[in-house]
Amino acid sequence: MMTNLKTILIPAYEKKYAVGSFNSYNYETFRGSIEAGVETGTPIIAAFGAKYLANMSLETASALVHSLAEPLDIPICLHLDHSKDMEVIFRAIQAGFGSVMYDGSALPFEENLANTRAVCRVAHACGVSVEAELGSLAAGRESHEGEATDVEKYTDPKAAKKFVSATDVDALAVSIGTVHGLYKGKPNIRVDILKEIDQALGIPLVLHGGSGTPKEDILQCIANGIAKINVNTEISSDAVARSAALLAKEKPHFSVLSLHQVDFVKETVKKYIAFFRSH
């Protein structure tokens, strides 16, 4: 069944577990993620990044996910990830997305706040949840989000409190030391900053850059307010590597290769589901 982000994240935040937000941009990733949810009996957030509009339209993504999810009993949220364009966000709401992320993190604070507030006003009137971002993540190895020139900027807890109070946003993505992609060195995850943000806000927090983050750091983050963790790079890397290995041994029909790739995605997603709920 289709739902919004808030419905999935509030129980996770209150019970101290996290829900994976799995980047999806074709049939194989959408189906693999949703089947992982069915087999584990857990909610799924299928995140369609605005940068993947070259792969399919908002309307196609929505029609595909609705057709896969509506017969199911588990909650499924189709989430628009990392959109800097408010017009794209409004189109996603119209297309049937249950959640949207306005990413104004590169803008001056007051402009990010004003734009996010405008998005929340429209989205909430339609029953759609909103995620926003304060701070910024650097780009790691094999990153397919952000830019190579992105510089890490930690989220300021005091600014976060002002931002959330003024916008009524449903979830906030924070920067505490993770990266988009895989780490180039040993990560320094600032759980102390996260604790301060959580105590100030009391709403579900979001961790971008879940691929490759050490397990002990992830578990500490979940214990301190992180209810949604984005995963992209590892799903892609694993599916590409396993597809290449399969093609080196045999030459399956394209339709059969697609089914294998659904399984590759599903196995990686199931691993993360188990991880994020272990505490």
CA 253 to CA 61: how far, in whole Å?
A: 25
If 0-12 CB within 10 Å is exposed, 13-18 middle and 19+ buried, where does residue 2 land? middle
CA 256 to CA 254: how far, in whole Å?
A: 5
Contact by Cβ (8 Å): 46, 5: no
Within 10 Å of residue 41's Cβ, how many Cβ atoms?
Answer: 9
Tell me the one-letter amino acid at 33.
Answer: S
Q: Tokens 């697609």 belong to which residue?
A: 258
CA 254 to CA 86: how far, in whole Å?
A: 37
Alpha helices (H) along the chain: 5-15, 27-40, 58-69, 86-95, 109-125, 157-167, 191-201, 215-223, 233-249, 254-276
Q: Which of 73, 81, 150, 156 is catalytic?
A: 81
- For CA atoms 84, 90, 96, 100, the dihedral sign is positive
CA 223 to CA 227: how far, in whole Å?
A: 9
To the query of whether residue 81 is one of the catalytic residues in this protein, the response is: yes
Q: Tokens 């294998």 belong to which residue?
A: 260
Q: Are strands 226-231 and 138-139 parallel, antiparallel or unpaired?
A: unpaired
CA 275 to CA 279: how far, in whole Å?
A: 9
Report, as residue numbers or ranges, the catalytic residues.
Answer: 81
